[in-house]
Amino acid sequence: MTDAEWAQIRASMPVPAWLEGRGGRPEAFCHREMVDAVRYVVDNGAKWRAIPADYPWWRAVYDFFRRWSRHGYVRELYQRLRRVERVRQGRAAEPSAGIMDAQSVDGSETCPAATRGVDGNKRRDGRKRHILTDTGGLLLEVTVTPANVHDSVAAPELLDAFMAEPGRLLKLVWADTACQGPALADAFAAHGVRAEVVRRPDGTRGFVVLARRWVVERTLGWLSRARRLNRDHERRPDHHTQMVWWAGLITLTRKLTKERLHWPEFRPERLDPRPA
């Protein structure tokens, strides 16, 4: 994590209770080190015990992750930064339109059978993450279910989770053909949200760019850069949900600071010294 990324996170991250005089014990480690360590695990797909010695003790990092998961701090941090990014783009802080989709991933041996299922369409044995994004591809809400849960069944819960907070302005959601049915339509109507299904053109085969839906597909691609999300290694579905938020946070902070950590731009010592 660069200094510019930390400046963005520090300005928006939740304040611990002990700093506001509401009790509690002060943190034993720097917040920047802890956030950076969790991002390392998410981005590189490492085990908690395999965190490099340059970071704090792995158990302290895992306890930090669990504490933030329990209180929903990383989701709140992402939502704050998402509003900052939208305002920076000259848009309203809260979106009026969104796109939803789902992605199934295989579960590892640490993913218990009670919280996983088989997606016969995608041939995945694991869990399915359902995401709602704005028209720019920024995450609005995330839920995780067994892979055998149909998109139309999980979509109302995804929408309810987002609309539960005050100040939401969502009025239109684009989705694929799986998000249909009277029960789903009633759930959307309860929030005053209109669902519009984006269909493939008749007679087309192979890859086709679909209007609006390509945005959420791109977001799923961004999330797949985090190696921790390539397979589901989490014992608990809520921890998988938090991993998605952490992966989105990595992309969002780099977007805010306009920094892409690609070789060789940030490794000048490896550049060819010979003149062009």
3-class DSSP state of 42: helix
Residue 97's CB is within 10 A of a number of other CB atoms, namely 16
User: In angstroms, what is the C-alpha Rg of the chain?
Assistant: 20
The two tokens of residue 53 are 């010695």
Q: How far is CA 114 from CA 3, 15, 148, 174, in A?
A: 42, 36, 12, 31
Averaged pLDDT for residues 27-44? 90
β-pairing, 194-197 with 124-134? unpaired
Q: What is the pLDDT of residue 226?
A: 92
The crossing angle, in degrees rounded to 10, of helices 237-257 and 3-12 is 120
Q: What is the pLDDT of residue 51?
A: 93
Considering only 150-154, 169-173, 199-203, 254-258, which range has the smallest mean pLDDT? 199-203
This prediction has a pTM of: 0.87
Considering only 35-44, 181-190, 205-214, which range has the smallest mean pLDDT? 205-214
Confidence of residue 272 (pLDDT cuts 50, 70, 90): low
Averaged pLDDT for residues 237-244? 94
- Please, are residues 116 and 125 in contact by the beta-carbon 8 Å criterion? yes
